[in-house]
Every structure is written in structure tokens, then in C-alpha cells.
A and B are shown apart, each in its own frame.
Chain A
């Protein structure tokens, strides 16, 4: 059986929370201005860590969430960010009632798991920590936010490491294509957690300097956080997800195959499912974490399929928000198409000779992008790519 043609999935509305701000307008302005959303970590101690900074949502999340639902003031940061993004998406499509919810995350409610561990390790009574532990489940932040809107659709949590957000949007499209769902609320979230911060530090993947995606002198990633939520449904009008590719690279649990085979396979699948030639792509929003291995692998993949297409990674502005990154960057792609610009690749100083990409360096570039590839890659060899489109008419 040949794959069914990929009917476009309409992006009816979306909401976004990132280190560039809360809401679409703040994010579009931040992208266009090339704003630096990286700041010293204030959520937990980072003494002795390689990196001392992260992309943090600096707005008062509790107060903003409280304005939507008073009971949310004491929710986890992850749940508050999901609520804010969900509310913005709902406002853009007020009559949208999802029959399925698909969200990506990597660390879920990890801060609550940390709290439970520390309580046990200290020999303290654990009943209160146990009650809070219900929020450790990665479904909980999503379910908490859904209750505010009286939505009772089933929730599927996709956890494909740093590709989770892109996979969640792709799976939402597959559910619509297969007829298993008509309207899907989809996206991703992740809040900064000490566990994850220490993890990337242990791998020496994080940097003490600035995050410089694709720069010849790049030294590693900076972590981030955020959430983005999309209202998706069948339809051909306006903003759409028109293609999706997902490929597993079994080379190594944490390192991509140096040839770029994984990213290349995901991009090829995405283009094929959108029935597009590579030349039709106006811009690539790269995964571009700023680590030497990741960027080299992705650059090789891009050079094999879209060697002259403008490329940028927005992680120099936002940091790497892991399971939220794919959804946030899909939102950035929509802002770029509607706002007619290409987001900048911050902190770029020098092209690596082996990778002569057309990097949108340091400042946004005026353009009229109509078809964009958005890449996300993660541990476990997870590679995922979306094609996002805005019709030229």
C-alpha cells in the first residue's frame, strides 16, 4: 500500500510562551528584533556547572496564569506555561473543541520528582510530596490546563526527547489524516529542571559561553523552556502543516550519525509527504543546538537536500527548550510567514568551511517565506521535520 497523499492540516490558531515573551505578539517582535532571551539561571542553584545561563520565561507566570484561572497560581511552571499557550490558542479559535490532545515533553513534571526524591532522602514525611507527585506525570500539566476550558478529550504525551514537540504535531496530523480524529490540540512544553540541567552538564553538551548555532567556534547548547499549543483540523485554507517526516537513527543514543543521514531522511520524508521539491522551500528553521556534533550532522543533511536555502536556528535567542522546542519553533515559522521575515541566527561570527550554509546571521532578514522546513532532533536518534505553508494568495 502506498502512503496516502498528505492532505494539509490547517493551523486554525496557536499560542506561544518562550523566553522571548508570553504570547504571539511578544514572540514575533522578539524574533524580528533578534532579542536575546538568555539570562542567568534563577530557578535553582547552578554553582559549579559549566553553564550558568538559560532561556527563561521571565514574566511572572503565576500572576498571568491566575488571570485566566485563579487556582493555577500554585501550579507548576510547566502547567502555567501550557495554560497560557492553550488560552491564546483558544482565543484565536473560540469554538474549537478538541477530540484528541497530543503534546510533546521531555521532562514533564521533573521538578516534582526532584522534590519527592529530596523529601525521601531527607527522611521527612512524604505524604505531601506524594500528593504533589501526581503532577510528575507528563499528562498532568496538560490535563490541568484543559480542565479550565472543560475539555475532556484524551491526552497523548509524546516523549521523543528533543524531537517531541515536532513529533507531537506530526502525530496530530497523522491522526487527522487517518480519520482517527477531526480536531486535535497539539504542541509541546518543558520547564527548566535541575535534573535536566545537570544532565546536559554531565555530558559536557552545555556551554559556558553563548549558544552559537552553526558557528565555526560553537561550543555547546544553552537550555531553555516554554510551551506552544496549536489548534489543528482538516482544511486547506491559510496556515497549514503540509508535510511531516520522522526517522530513527540508531547510530548512538546521544550522538547523531555524522553523515547527517537521520536529518536527511526526516527532511526527505517531509518533502515527499508535502509533494514538494527541495527548491520550493524558502527557509529552514534548523534544530541547531550549537553543539559541535548536532550542528555538523544537521548541516551535512541540509547541504545534501537544500544547499542554497536560507537557514537559521532560533536557539541562540531562546535556548533549547527540549520537548517544547519543535512546537515553539513551528510557531516561529508561522510568525515568519505571516510577518514576512526570516528569524535571525544569533551569535554567528564565522562560517565553518565544510558547511557553507546561507545562515541568516544575527539580524532578521526581510522575506516572503511561504514554505518552511522545521527540524527537530533528539536523543535516541529521534529525527523529525515539519513542512509549514502559508499559501501565496
Chain B
């Protein structure tokens, strides 16, 4: 699979500006977490939130007034990516959409079930927003997309699977462009779950895991031609245990590196098991590569982190004016491994 990135947008705890956030990642700027409140009486988690002012435009849209925050995040990133690609209304009518998410509209899901448990009935305003593809529908409606609209749900690797699927849609010729979007919203129940699973920092300054749970969104516009080129030379693997994950990661990288020699890697490196597996493989197979670690600055947002890493990879390519290759691996916490390669340089238009 091959495709080109012609537009990008992201919504992060540090804002939406591509260059400013990329600089913060390179500087490994330490984020400032806020406390996530909990109605369960459990202890609080420090988390990274997107500034509300970055979502003002989405919140003003009539269709989104009652929608969940994940839709606001997703629509904002998607709108920015489409604007940067400069697609016309006619082109949007031949644009497909692939949305990747790990938890979907989890806040409304928790609220609806809380109502069911408490009073045996939940609000009909909440339930429709709990389906994984609710943000997909809102994005398509907001942007006037006319192609297929697909939602993938899963761990971090699903962010890269969405890119691969977008490339397949372009290959079969059904659409001219494909918009890839990911988003993660914040909720106390995911915060508690991921904290209990040891995937995110439970306290400020905790050494391992070294990343905070974060909300955010990312979006790419793919086309058949242009630069940088994004390639998915291998579909990835499932794994069953940490030891198996390590072997699968090595198999995947061995396969990709047989014909590639990326000088830059956008790495997870959060101190948790999946990222440690990735780190060990990279250390052995690409000891001289330059590593960028966006999660230290942007936090952990599962599938959304993976797509943020693709954007970071494209920006790294832009800065390496001689071109080269960037590797973007993703080891999901729930059994999936994938990787992409970016080549070429970002067009200046």
C-alpha cells in the first residue's frame, strides 16, 4: 500500500499548531497535567486535556451541540486537515473517511449506563452518541464527504490500520482522497481502567509509566500522488503475551528493514510493557536512529497516539531536507502490532 499525505491537522493538549507542537515534542517539553475528577470515590488521575478554546468552532455547530467531546475533537482535527489540503466541495464528494478510535464516546457510554443502573432507564439523547461510529457520522456531515465512511475500533495499532485501509481505498480507485481521523476523549472510567492496567501515570512525576493519559485528535488527508509518501509494507501481527509481542515486533521490523534503513523513528517509549518491547527491538535493529517520543509531551491517547506519530513522522521528514525514511511503529496494549514507513519530503504548497 502506498499513499501520499497532502493535509494534516491535530488537536493536542498543547494546541493545534503543527509547527509549535512539533517543536515542543522535539524539545521534550514536560506537559502540565490536571486532575481528573471521579464520581466513584477512587483516587484521582493526573491527565492532559485539550484547551476548551481549541474546540469552540466545533461546539458552535448545531449538529454537534449534543454530541460527545470525542466528536468535537475529531471534527476539529478533520476540518484542519481538509483546510490544509485545500480540497474543494467537489473533491470532498469523492473523499472517503476512516476513523480510528480506542474507546469511542466513552463518557456518554458511562453516563448512559449510570442512568440505567440508577433508574432503569437512560436518556435517548445519550445512547446514539455511544456507538463507535458517531464521530464518523458527524465528520462526514460537517465536511460533506461523499465516499465510504468506516470506523475501526481497537488499540494503538488501529490508528495505523486506518492509514493502511485508506491506502487500499485509494488503490481500488473508488475515491480520489481519503481522510484518516483518530480521536480520544477523557473520562473517569477509562482513566481508572488504564491506571489500574498500569498504562498511564497514576501520580504526577511517577517514573513508570512515564506518560499521562491524554485526550486529542489527529487527521491526515491521503491522495494517490504527492509527498511525503506513506507506505505500509507489512500488515502487522497479533500477539498473545509480552514475550510473543517481542518476537512479533522483531519479525515485523526484520521484514520492513530488509529493504529500508530509516534514520528517524517516532517511538512510543512510555515505560509500559508494549512500548518497552518496541524500544528493545529498535535498540537492537536501529541503534543509530534518531528517536522522537511524542507521548512524553502529548500523553497517551491509544489509537490517536499512533496517528499523531504519523504526523510527527511527516514533520520530521520535512525537517530532514535531504529526505530519507521515517519509521512509525505501534505496539497496542491489547494484542496488535503494526508499522508504517514515510519517505520523501513534505510539499511546501
**Chain A contact residues, CB within 8 Å of chain B:** 1-4, 47-48, 99-101, 105-106, 108, 113-114, 116-118, 120-121, 123, 126-127, 130, 133-134, 137-140, 143, 146-147, 151-161, 167, 171, 174-175, 177-181, 194-195, 198-204, 246-248, 250, 253-254, 378-382
Contact = CB atoms under 8 A, between A and B. Distances in A.
Contacts of B134: 253, 379-380
17 contacts: A3-B174, A101-B238, A105-B153, A121-B117, A133-B193, A152-B238, A154-B338, A158-B150, A159-B131, A167-B150, A180-B1, A195-B109, A202-B121, A248-B137, A248-B146, A379-B128, A381-B140
A181 B174 contact: no
Tell me the interface secondary structure of chain B in the complex: mixed
A153 B127 contact: no
Nearest to A173: B172
Given A130-B196, A175-B168, A203-B127, A1 B173 contact: yes
B172 A177 contact: yes
Interface residues of B, number: 73
A382 B134 CA distance: 10
Interface stretch (B16-24, B80-88, B154-162, B280-288): B154-162
Contacts of A126: 42, 192, 196
B161 A120 contact: no
| CB-CB nearest 6 A-B residue pairs | A380-B137, A250-B141, A159-B132, A178-B168, A178-B171, A199-B127
Contact of B40 (A100, A120, A152, A198): A120
Interface in B141-180: 141, 145-146, 148-155, 157-158, 161, 164-165, 167-169, 171-174, 176
B208 interface: no
Interface of B: 1, 40-42, 97, 104, 109-110, 112-114, 116-117, 120-124, 127-134, 136-138, 140-141, 145-146, 148-155, 157-158, 161, 164-165, 167-169, 171-174, 176, 189, 192-193, 196-197, 224, 232, 235-240, 248, 334-338
Contact of B334 (A118, A121, A137, A178): A137
Contacts of A204: 124
A171 B150 contact: yes
Contacts of B168: 174-175, 177-178, 180
Given A3-B174, A116-B193, A250-B140, A202 B127 contact: yes
Given A154-B238, A155-B335, A174-B169, A160 B150 contact: yes
Contacts of B42: 120, 126
Given A123-B40, A130-B193, A380-B137, 16 more contacts: A48-B120, A121-B40, A121-B114, A126-B192, A126-B196, A127-B196, A133-B193, A133-B197, A143-B335, A156-B154, A174-B169, A180-B1, A201-B121, A248-B97, A379-B131, A382-B149
